[in-house]
Structure 1
Amino acid sequence: MDPELYAGAQSGNWVVMKRFSDYFYFQHTPAKDTVLHVLAQSSDSADVVQVILDRHGRLLMKLNKRGETALHLAARNGHSGVVRALIDYAKSGAGYWFPPCFDRCKWMLRMASKAGNTALHEAVRNNFYDIAKLLVQEDPEFRYPHNYAVETSLYLAVEKGRHNIMVLILESCKTPSYLGPGHKTALHAASIWNLPESMKLILEKLPNLIKNVDKFGWTALHYAAKFDHQEIARLLLSADRSTAYVAAKNDDSKTALHIAVIHGHVVLVQEILSHCPDCWVQITGKSRNILHLAVKHEKREVMEFVLQSSWASELINEKDNEGNTPLHLYVATENLDGNCLVNHPFVDVNSFDNSNSTPLDRIVRDDQLSDRKILIKDELEQAAGTRGYRNVATVKKISRASGPDEVKRVENLSKNYSIVATLIATVTFAAGFTVPGGYNSDGPDKGMAVLGKQADFITFVISDFLAMIAAMGAVLGHIRLVQTKNYRLKLAIVRVTERQISWAVLFMMMAFPSGLCAVLPNLPVTILLCVSIAWFFHDVYINLAIAWLNLEDRECTYTTRFNHSEADDVNLRALGLYKRWYQDLTEAED
């Protein structure tokens, strides 16, 4: 665009712009903004807009690179005079021909940019009430759908706290769209941002939204419970108390009561129960009741409230999918004072979970007890808590301890093995291309190994290849060990890595004499080398075997039930160790 024309458009100076009026349609910026775009963006000169459109009416709906018309830019920048001039010209029917079956003004108002924004989106986002009123009153039948970020004008008005614009849209539009990101609605936004007045009007105009759920399965009441918005919760429950029973299908089937318990909002818990006194019976997808959740998330006030209720006896010994009672979960807490739970008259301190463990079993299985664990152990013993003794076995196998120190030791061992394996892989890879005897420099076999047909050379190549493969397997095993948190899988990987490195060293020892045999003509020297290597191999491995047998003589007591995931079971089978683990358990001795 000509610099003088651009400066004139910015200031709304028609005297300057007039000199270029014959070329308006062909003048544009790198962003494809026309002179009308520049004017709408920078100035509120309605008279100049009218003059421009009288001469070049096609600029009315001309798009820039972002797919925006001049109306978008005027609405974004709050130039209500330009917006009014554009609407009046579109309604006049003057200028270029437009299909009579369409309303040119409504067509312009409904045009969306490449981001899906209408002019109303821009007015709402920038809080220009007068412009929003102009747009809505000209086209009240339009739903004003969401943009590509799934933001409707109504949702934006609520989310950004534009209450007057929200009222305008709800009272002027016949069927306004209300969606927001993540399948939320304007009602969700009012709940999240604690807007009671907006909530009242939305419930009045769009009452069906009260049970709409977002992508997590949360209703507006779920969000009120999360953020402890008590007035919002009261409005929603008064409008439709059945919303308290809605379980979030994509969030462990949690109800609003569960959410309030998890976040420790005891007043809101009481509010929900006052409207729906029987909703405490609902459980999550993991079969956990509200007492489970209060204990797990260490919400003391909520726990005490539940334990003081008349229906506490129905919850206190209830088990989740893993057989955990609230007392089992209490053992794993860090700061919760659970004395009222341990000493409750209806609590069963010796209940068993699916692993046949009592709450006290959960503690004494650890070799080293923290001060916290000792405190809980004393509480349980004073309440007549005992061990279950259902699953204890003594096995003459390698220690199964999986404390932090043991895990660290295994990880360090794997790290050292990976360094050795990397060195072996590097050496064997290089040896594969620096073969004994070299390569043919001419003839039909040019570039091929000179000793390629000798049996000793073939043995060298195969041994070198197998050594490299075994070493690479050990490196990959270390990568998998770093990724998993399961101690038994870490231990299994280290065992396999030991064997892989041993095989890699063995194959290297086979490759070395094979290569020498291929290039040395003196048979006695070759025999001496092979005997020396064999003697060294025998001496080292016999000593290692003796040390290993001494290690396995140690006994360790451990429980026969391990909590490992199905994914880790698959990995153990892939490593070929699942069968050994099973045999270890069946060989358990009293």
Structure 2
Amino acid sequence: MAAVLTAAVEFGPDHKMTLDAELLLVLTAGDKVRMEAMLSNGRQQTTGQVAINVHAMAPAPGCFLLGVASNGNTELHLVASRGHVELATLLCERAPSLVATRNRCLDTPLHCAAKAGHMDVAAILLSAMRAGGADEEAALLARNQTGATALYEAVRHGRAGVVDLLMTEVPDMSSVAIDGDGGVSPLYLAASTKSVQMVRHLLRPSRNGTPSPASFSGPEGRTALHVAATAGKEIVQAILGWEPKGPTLLTRVDSSGRTPLHFAAFYGALDIVKLFLDDHASLRLATISDNDGSFPVHTAAMVGETRTVCELIKRCPNYYELVDDKGRNLLHRAVEHGQDSVVRHICQNDKLAMLLNATDSEGNTPLHLAVQGGYPGIVSLLLATLSVDMGITNKDGLTARDLSRLARAHEVARGSSLGYDGGDCLYWLRAPSTLDGVLRFYEKPAEEDAPAEGDDMTKSGTIASVLIATVAFAAAFTVPGGFVADDHAHAGTAVLARRFAFRAFVVSDTVAFVCSIVATCFHIYGSAREIPHGHRLWYNLLASGLVPVGSQFMIAAFAFGFHLVLGSVNRWLIVFMYIFSLASVLFCFPGIWVPLRLGLGKVVWRRAGWRGLVNIYERPSSLSHFLFLFRRSFLFLNFRRPLFVLLISATFVVAIVLSIALPNY
């Protein structure tokens, strides 16, 4: 009988018998009694009532056990997947060769038991494999079509009990990684899934006391400790306690040259950073750079992890000498990535003052990079520190203000809108500049190279201004409350003309109409090619400032008109309407928020006093000169739009008070 079974197994999966429906029901249900009855009756698998005969021999009792399902699963695969212990024991006794068979996915029954987490079935299969021949025992380390062993599948599916069993019986499985030595090992996978229990099972010493043979490899040269740095302190402690391999992983680098400390710093795992530095590492670990020359302290600064930066600085007395391949220190990297919190901490710590004016390989200070990157908040933080020098030039002989002026000239030449940036603050402070008189000689983009985005903005602004003008014009002749009839005194006038809300409605609608119609005309002039480029730019700038004002007063006109329609009997509804109207004015136009610019104002006041705020350092030669200087000052640029919002808000409050105190006013 054994010879017949072996011959059937070697006959190939394409020639195996197909399991019939009755046998599938028995296997699915785990009915051991019916299975024993089928075996005792010598049942044969048939196809079309014709028994399959191997090598022209009469089919022996139990040969139907060698049949397969449509996906290549044998009876033992089906039983192992469902955790039927008794049937698994019976099948291993009657057809031991099944323990080494594979389905179309190249899974052995042990793979199926590991995936499903059936530890008892897995133990039976392990015993049968060891009791069988060399082929069965070799199947212990078999890989399926994804390259995974049974242990890897158990880790992937989170089956900690099966992992414990396999590491006890076959610890060598842990040394097999997908795709060879450079692939993903079970330990790496367990650490990435943050399973402390499975990591401890995989790192447990063998029965004879030898260390775990687990592989620590991962993709792109990373080790299990790299991914553990983002998974939690317990997993890191378990890996570091894995002698003798664990501590050596601290200095291993991946394909980008990053150590586990780089990963811990990047993800802000402060407790793991301390663990690396306290228990197992020295200054050398914190001074290992990646392929770009970045040290762990640079990585922490780049992602804004201030506490990690402080911890690394504490452990690295030579932190100021740690620069990347571009000569940039940790403050340069923080500024480059817009990390305000790190910059603020460095500016407030006198012990780190040597970083403030350090230059990189291009001669740029952190202030240069902040201006280049367009970070007005960081510019204000740096300039608020009086030890920051505004006059340092880079290797091209340019100061920070020079860079801002070149960027501004580039925007003007391209027709882009001019927003506030750090360059404004440098202008208000009269920071040194080396471009006086020679700025015009710097190359500017040709006028025909202006981006299409500017034209799109002009078209959008024109559409918005036309819509506002149309609505405001229509509202002027469909006033709330209607008009006095012809047979009454003052025929044709508005019924509610004497109400405060009506007067506010008329003023708001007028301002909205005038601003929008003027903005429409300016947009038309700004798009005319016959007009000089510089004039067109100013037309577009003025139009872009008038459209938001028209929108704000259009919202105000809506609120006042709604107030008149609701009347005095809907007092709380009127209050609700005013609150939401004011909220729309505030949130639809964030440029009017003064607090966003108060940081720059504080810097200007600290370094230049009131003269810097009004942009007047010497007596103006004429009224036009005074207006020119004041128009470009901090006070004018930052408080012109909020003035309209304050006016609208105050009018809303007056309307609410009058509706309560004098309902008929």
Which bracket does the TM-score occupy, shorter chain normalised? 0.5 to 0.7
CA shift in 2, pair 1:35/1:109, >3 Å: same
Of residues 52, 67, 79 in structure 2, which corresponds to 1:27?
67
Identity %: 27
Residue aligned with 2:394, SS = coil
Offset at residue 2 of structure 1 (A): 1.0
Give 3-state SS (helix, strand or coil) of 2:229's partner. helix
Report the counterpart of residue 182 of structure 1 in structure 2. 220
1:181–1:339 Cα change, 3 Å: same
Task: Sort the Cα spacing of 1:281 and 1:308 in 2 relative to 1 into closer, same or farther, 3 A.
Answer: farther
SS state at 1:372 partner = coil
User: Quick check: 1:4 aligned with 2:22?
Assistant: yes
Q: Counterpart of 1:336 in 2: which secondary structure?
A: helix
Q: How do 1:100-111 and structure 2 match up within 5 A? A: 104-105=136-137, 107-111=138-142
Local SS of the residue matching 1:362: helix
1:27–1:405: structure 2 CA closer, same or farther, 3 Å change rule? closer
User: Post-superposition shift, 1:402?
Assistant: 6.0
Higher relative contact order (CA 8 A, sep 6+): 1
The alignment status of 1:164 with 2:197, answered yes or no, reads yes
Letter paired with 2:226: H
Q: Which moved more, 1:199-208 or 1:307-316?
A: 307-316
Please report how far the alpha carbon of residue 237 of structure 1 lies from its aligned counterpart in structure 2 after TM superposition. 1.0
Deviation of 1:350 (Å) = 2.7
Offset at residue 404 of structure 1 (A): 4.4
2:302 to 262, 272, 275: 262
Structure 2 residue matching 1:30: 3-state secondary structure: coil
Q: Could you tell me which residue of structure 2 aligns to residue 359 of structure 1?
A: 400
Assess, with a 3 A threshold, how the Cα gap between structure 1 residues 141 and 337 changes in structure 2: closer, same or farther.
closer
Q: Residue type matched to 1:113 in 2?
A: N
Paired with 2:113 and 2:442, the residues of 1 have a C-alpha distance of 81
Contact 1:350 1:387 in 2 (8 A): no
Residues 1:73 and 1:347: Cα distance change in structure 2 (over 3 Å): same
1:536-555 equivalences under 5 Å are none
- Could you tell me which of 237, 242, 262 is aligned with 1:200? 237
> Do the aligned partners of 1:109 and 1:135 also contact (CA within 8 Å) in 2?
no
Counterpart for residue 342 of structure 2: 302
Deviations 1:89-112 (A, max 9, x none): 22334xxxx34xx8x54x232111
Matching residue of 1:416: none
CA contact (8 A) 2:174 2:186 kept: no
Structure 1 residues 113-262: aligned runs within 5 Å: 113-148=144-179, 150-173=183-206, 174-193=212-231, 195-205=232-242, 206-238=246-278, 239-241=280-282, 242-249=284-291, 252-262=292-302
Contact 2:67 2:75 in 1 (8 A): yes
CA distance in 1, matches of 2:392, 2:159: 64
Alpha-carbon contact 1:144-1:176 (below 8 Å) kept: yes
Match of 2:106 in 1: 67
One-letter identity of the residue aligned with 1:267: R
Q: Match for 2:202: what amino acid?
A: I
C-alpha distance in 2 between matches for 1:347 and 1:77: 64
Residue identity opposite 2:205 in structure 1: S
The question of whether the paired residues in 2 share the 8 Å contact of 1:72 and 1:119 is answered with yes
275 and 253 in structure 1: CA distance in 2 versus 1, 3 angstrom threshold: same
The Cα of 1:70 is off from its aligned counterpart by 0.4
Following TM superposition, by how much is the alpha carbon of 1:236 offset from its aligned partner in structure 2, in angstroms?
A: 0.7
C-alpha distance after superposition, 1:330-376 (max 9, x if no partner): 21324524334225444332333344432222222322673423x63
CA distance in 2, matches of 1:84, 1:397: 77
In structure 1, give the amino acid aligned to 2:107. Answer: E
What is the number of equivalent residue pairs in this alignment? 406
Cα deviation code 1:133-153 (max 9, x no counterpart):
221111235543212493211
In structure 1, distance between residues paired with 2:111 and 2:224: 23
Kept in 2: contact 1:11–1:43 (CA 8 A): no
Offset at 1:281?
Answer: 1.9
Alpha-carbon distance between aligned partners in 2 of 1:334 and 1:396, rounded to the nearest angstrom: 24
Amino acid corresponding to residue 214 of structure 1 in structure 2 = D
- 1:390–1:267 Cα change, 3 Å: farther
Query: 1:171 deviation in Å?
Result: 1.6
- Could you tell me how far apart the structure 1 residues matched to 2:446 and 2:156 are? 64
Cα distance in 1 for residues equivalent to 2:438 and 2:98: 83
Give 1:452's aligned residue. none
Q: Give the deviation of 1:15 after TM superposition.
A: 4.1
Aligned partners of 2:370 and 2:376 also within 8 Å: no
Contact 1:228 1:260 in 2 (8 A): yes
Alignment-mate amino acid for residue 248 of structure 1: D
- The verdict on how the C-alpha distance between 1:405 and 1:348 changes in structure 2, with shifts beyond 3 A counting, is farther
Structure 2 SS opposite 1:182: helix
Distance 1:371 1:172, change over 3 A: same
Q: Distance in 1 between matches of 2:80 and 2:200?
A: 27
In structure 2, give the amino acid aligned to 1:8.
Answer: V
Change (3 A) 1:144 1:396: closer
Residue 254 of structure 1 and its aligned partner are, at CA, apart by 1.5
| SS, match of residue 192 in structure 1 | coil
Instruction: Give distance in 1, aligned partners of 2:186 and 2:425.
Output: 60
**What's the TM-score, normalizing by structure 2?**
0.55
1:177, distance to aligned residue in structure 2 (A): 0.5
Instruction: Report deviation, 1:311.
Output: 5.9
CA distance in 2 between partners of 1:143 and 1:202 (Å):
14
Q: Alpha-carbon deviation of 1:115?
A: 1.1
Conservation of the 8 A alpha-carbon contact between 1:4 and 1:16:
no
Asked whether the 8 Å contact 1:121–1:152 carries over to 2, the reply is yes
Q: 1:378 to 1:160 in 2, by over 3 A?
A: closer
- Residues 60 and 24 (structure 1), Cα distance of their counterparts in 2 relative to 1, 3 Å cut: farther
From 411, 420, 423, the counterpart of 1:376:
423
Separation (CA, whole Å) in 2 of partners of 1:382 and 1:396: 26
Equivalent AA in structure 2 for residue 147 of structure 1: I
Q: Aligned-pair distance for 1:268?
A: 0.9
1:244–1:272 Cα contact (<8 Å) kept = yes
Q: Which amino acid aligns with 2:238?
A: L
Query: CA–CA distance in 2 between the matches of 1:396 and 1:371?
Result: 22
Superposed CA RMSD: 3.4
User: Larger deviation: 53-62 or 67-76?
Assistant: 53-62
Does 2:298 align with 1:281? no
Q: Is the 8 A contact 2:229 2:272 kept in 1?
A: yes
Match runs of 1:395-474 below 5 Å? 399=446, 404=451
Deviation at 1:248, TM superposition (A): 1.3
Check the 8 A contact 1:24/1:34 in 2, yes or no. Answer: no
| 1:320 Cα deviation after fit | 3.0
Structure 1: how far apart are the matches of 2:452 and 2:73? 67
Distance 1:226 1:118 in 2: 33
Tell me the SS of whatever aligns to 1:338.
helix
The 1-side partners of 2:119 and 2:318 are apart by 55
Aligned-partner SS, 2:335: helix
Shift of 1:63: 0.7
CA contact (8 A) 2:390 2:432 kept: yes
Residues 1:58 and 1:342: Cα distance change in structure 2 (over 3 Å): same
Q: CA deviation at 1:221?
A: 1.3
How far 1:39 sits from its partner (Å)? 0.9
Shift of 1:310: 5.0
2:369 aligns with one of 318, 323, 329: 329
Which amino acid letter does the alignment assign opposite residue 170 of structure 2? D
Can you give the 5+ residue segments of structure 2 that lack an aligned partner in the other structure?
A: 1-18, 45-60, 207-211, 460-528, 535-665
- Quote the Cα distance in structure 1 between the aligned partners of 2:319 and 2:403: 31
**C-alpha deviations, 1:401-429, integer Å up to 9, x for none?**
865468769xx9xxxxxxxxxxxxxxxxx
Following superposition, the deviation at residue 400 of structure 1 comes to 5.6
Is residue 401–residue 426 contact of structure 2 (8 Å, CA) maintained in 1?
no
